[in-house]
Chains A and B, each alone.
Chain A
Amino acid sequence: MSRYDLLQLPLLKLGLRSRWPQFLVRAIALGGFIFAILAGLLGTPVGSRNFGIVFVWIAWWALLMLVAVPLFGRGWCSICPIPMPGEWLQQGNVLKPGLGGPAGFFRRFVLGRRWPNAWRNIWLQNGAFTLVALFSTVVLTQPRTTAIVLAGFLVVAIGTSLVFERRAFCRYLCPVGGFIGLYSQLAPTELRVKDTTVCAAHTVKTCYTGSAEGYGCPWQVFPGGLVKNTYCGTCMECLRTCPHDNIALNLRSFGADLTIPGGRKLDEAYKAFIMLGSAIVYAAVLLGPWAFLKSAAYGVGSWPWLAYALAFLAFVFGLLPGFFFLAVALGRRISKGRQPLQKQFVAYSYALVPLGLAAWIAFSLSFVLTNFSYLWPALSDPFGWGWDLVGTAGVGWTPYLTGTIPALQALVLLGGLGWAALTARRIAGETLPQGGEIRQALPVAAYCLLVTTALMVLLVG
Chain B
Amino acid sequence: MNAERTARLFVLGLLIGIPLSILLARWIAPGAAAGRPVEIHARMPEAGGWSPADLSISVGVPLHLRLVSDDVVHSFAVGQSDQPAIDIYPGEVVETTLIFDRPGKYVYYCTRWCGPNHWRMRGTIEVLGETGEPQAEGPPLFSTLGIDIDVPHPADVVPTRRPSARRGADLGIHIPEKYLSLDYLRRTSPAGAWQDLRAEPFSQDLNDEQVWDLVALVWKLNTNPQAIQTGQQLFAQNCAACHRYLSGRSG
Give A contacts to B, CB under 8 Å: 20, 23-24, 27-28, 30-31, 34-35, 38, 42, 44-46, 48-50, 84, 88, 93-96, 377, 381, 383-387, 393
Contacts and interface: CB of A to CB of B under 8 A. Distances in A.
Contact of A386 (B10, B15, B19, B68): B68
Given A30-B11, A31-B14, A94-B7, A42 B71 contact: no
Given A48-B91, A49-B92, A386-B93, A42 B14 contact: no
B158 interface: no
B111 interface: no
Contacts of B25: 387
16 contacts: A27-B11, A28-B14, A30-B15, A31-B15, A34-B14, A38-B22, A42-B22, A46-B90, A46-B91, A48-B90, A94-B4, A94-B11, A95-B6, A96-B4, A381-B93, A384-B93
Nearest to A389: B25
A61 B71 CA distance: 24
Given A27-B11, A38-B18, A46-B69, A385 B93 contact: yes
Nearest to B22: A38
Given A44-B68, A45-B71, A93-B4, 8 more contacts: A27-B10, A34-B14, A34-B18, A34-B19, A44-B70, A46-B70, A46-B90, A95-B6
Interface of B: 3-4, 6-8, 10-11, 14-15, 18-19, 22, 25-26, 66, 68-71, 90-93, 95
A44 B18 contact: no
B92 A31 contact: no
A377 B91 CA distance: 10
B107 to A, nearest CB: 25
A384 B92 contact: yes
A261 B229 CA distance: 79
A31 B92 CA distance: 25
Q: Which of B11, B14, B70 has the most CB of A within 10 A?
A: B11
A24 B11 CA distance: 9
A452 to B, nearest CB: 38
A386 B18 contact: no
Contacts of A386: 66, 68, 92-93, 95
A44 B22 CA distance: 14
B26 A385 contact: yes
Contact of A38 (B3, B19, B93, B95): B19
Contacts of B10: 24, 27
Nearest to A96: B4
A42 B11 CA distance: 22
Q: Which of A35, A50, A93, A94 has the most CB of B within 10 A?
A: A94
A94 B70 contact: no
B95 A27 contact: no
Contacts of A385: 26, 93
B7 A383 contact: no
Contact of A50 (B14, B18, B26, B91): B91
Nearest to B16: A34
A118 B134 CA distance: 80
A96 B26 contact: no
Given A35-B18, A386-B68, A44 B91 contact: yes
Nearest to A48: B91
Contact of B14 (A20, A30, A93, A387): A30
Nearest to A95: B7
B180 to A, nearest CB: 51
B26 A383 contact: yes
Contact of B18 (A20, A31, A381): A31
B3 A96 contact: yes
A381 B4 CA distance: 34
Nearest to A23: B7
A95 B70 CA distance: 42
A45 B93 contact: no
B91 to A, nearest CB: 3
Contacts of B26: 42, 383, 385
Given A44-B68, A48-B91, A49-B91, A383 B22 contact: yes
A210 to B, nearest CB: 16
B69 A34 contact: no
A225 B4 CA distance: 32
A45 B68 CA distance: 11
A50 B92 CA distance: 10
Contact of A27 (B14, B69, B91, B93): B14
B68 to A, nearest CB: 7
Nearest to A88: B11
Contacts of B6: 95
A28 B18 CA distance: 11
Contacts of A95: 3-4, 6-8
A35 to B, nearest CB: 6
Contacts of B69: 46
A38 B15 CA distance: 11
Contacts of A35: 18, 22
A94 B10 CA distance: 10
Contacts of A384: 68, 91-93
A377 B10 CA distance: 28
Contacts of B93: 381, 384-386
A38 B22 CA distance: 9
A45 B70 contact: yes
Contacts of B4: 93-96
Contacts of B11: 27, 30, 84, 88, 94
A229 to B, nearest CB: 29
Contacts of A38: 18-19, 22
A24 B6 CA distance: 11
B38 to A, nearest CB: 13
A122 to B, nearest CB: 30
B12 to A, nearest CB: 9
A34 B6 CA distance: 20
Q: What 7 A-B pairs come out closest when comparing CB atoms?
A: A49-B91, A386-B93, A46-B91, A95-B7, A31-B14, A384-B91, A46-B90
A88 to B, nearest CB: 8
